[in-house]
Amino acid sequence: MILPANPGASYRAHKDEIDAAIRRVNESGWYILGPEVEAFEAEFAAYVGVKHCISVANGTDALRIAIRAAIPFRGAEGVTVSMSATATVAAITEAGWQPIMVDIDPDEYTLDPARLAEALTASGMFIVPVHLYGQPARMDAIMKLAVERSAFVIEDCAQAHGAVWEGKRVGAFGAAAAFSFYPTKNLGALGDGGAIVTDSDEIAERARLLRMYGWRERYVSEIHGLNSRLDELQAAILRVKLRHLDADNARRIRISRTYTAALADTGLQLPPVGGVYHQYVIRHPKRDQLRQQLTEKGVGTSILYPVPIHLQPAYADDLPLSLPVTEQLCRELLCLPMYPELTNGEVEIVCEAVRAAVTTLE
């Protein structure tokens, strides 16, 4: 079976470097907020192109802390998309703000600036664009609206490590941004991890307080904070992975081009060109039958995401919100295998299986 994602393959590809990094931490005797975390934070901030990186325990905490650090101590409404992992809206809710979900662009699958403009009804709101599947949201239009409406932008970069929009890496546009280092991400740890990045000294200071009980002085909480820290082992592993990120993303892009060329005449709706292809997403009206046939041919797939957030029981309103583009995408999308360690032969097998399956469904 060709897996849809394979973090174990990433470990094996960099095994010697990762094992050496793990040994270095184990022998150091320093396991929490030590030199590996400090070094990773400096390296990742430089990579994104911002002044500060504050690492935390996971991507959800990164978004929750980024929101609280950027807009402290007052309630507000945050505009985001329903086409995302539940963590995006969960983090907004847990931070004490009201999520407002809007529809996505039908071609790019990211926040539709026209729908955003309709939702920004007051100054001082905030915006969480999601760079879904590794495709950057339209940050030029989003930032223009943010300036016009006095809104804060907190980017959700959980699936877009290294993606570039108009010459600038995602994560460097808004007041702050959140990254996840879940094992299947383009930059993945061997466990959970996350980070907030920002150019703001003030936001960075608050984020550091928030990630560890609100302490500036040990055991003395200045504000109500969390316990959310990236450990030294994961930081050391991420330092190794970061050195290979651009090469890994380049391989993802090459795989995407092979898929696109092989599937161009199948009638499938293929993903937009650009980004770093955390996922390669195709669309078919008989998605479930297509997926079953691919499984039978030994090709694993995934569905990210089967139910839009606005229709999930925890977030559904009594009067259901209608987001037609999002809802149709969730019915039709299918993620093909996508990770740098896929061989050319495996990619060809996937292409042949998809073409054969689509033919039977015509």
Instruction: Note whether 308 and 330 are within 8 A (CB).
Output: yes
Is 7-102+109-239's fold the same as 245-360's? no
pLDDT in tens, the chain (362 residues): 999 999 999 999 999 999 999 999 999 999 999 999 999 999 999 999 999 999 999 999 999 999 999 987 556 899 999 999 999 999 999 988 899 999 999 999 999 999 999 999 988 899 999 999 999 999 999 999 999 999 999 999 999 999 999 999 999 999 999 999 999 999 999 999 999 999 999 999 999 999 999 999 999 999 999 999 999 999 999 999 999 999 999 999 999 999 999 999 999 999 999 999 999 999 999 999 999 999 999 999 999 999 999 999 999 887 789 999 999 999 999 999 999 999 999 999 999 999 999 999 98
φ/ψ (deg, to 5) at 248: -65, -40
Instruction: Note whether 276 and 134 are within 8 A (CB).
Output: yes
Q: Pairing between strand 220-221 and 98-102? A: unpaired
- 7-102+109-239: in CATH 3.40.640.10: yes
- Distance, in Å, from the CA atom of 210 to the CA atom of 206, rounded to the nearest integer, reads 6
Kindly list the domain boundaries of the chain, sorted by start residue.
7-102+109-239, 245-360
Q: Which CATH class is domain 245-360?
A: alpha beta
Q: Which residue has the tokens 């599937």?
A: 263
What amino acid is encoded at 61 in this protein? Answer: D
pLDDT at 96: 86
- Distance, in Å, from the CA atom of 152 to the CA atom of 259, rounded to the nearest integer, reads 37
> 266: which residues sit within 8 A by CB, 6+ positions away?
354, 355, 358
Q: Which of 24, 26, 39 is nearest to 235 (CA)?
A: 39
Distance between first and last Cα of the chain = 25
269: number of CA atoms within 13 Å, CB side? 15
pLDDT at 95: 87
pLDDT at 341: 98
Chain length of the chain: 362
- Distance, in Å, from the CA atom of 98 to the CA atom of 102, rounded to the nearest integer, reads 13
Secondary structure of the chain in the HEC alphabet? CECCCCHHHHHHHCHHHHHHHHHHHHHHCCCECCHHHHHHHHHHHHHHCCCEEEEECCHHHHHHHHHHHHCCCCCCEEEEECCCCHHHHHHHHHCCCEEEEECECCCCCCECHHHHHHHCCCCCCEECCECHHHCCCCHHHHHHHHHHCCCEEEEECCCCCCCEECCEECCCCCCEEEEECCCCCCCCCCCCCEEEEECCHHHHHHHHHHHECCEEECCEECCCCCECCCEHHHHHHHHHHHHHHHHHHHHHHHHHHHHHHHHCCCCCECCCCCCCCCCEEEECCCHHHHHHHHHHCCECCECCCCCCHHHCCCCCCCCCCCCHHHHHHHHHEEEECCCCCCCHHHHHHHHHHHHHHHHHCC
Sign of CA dihedral 328, 330, 331, 335: positive
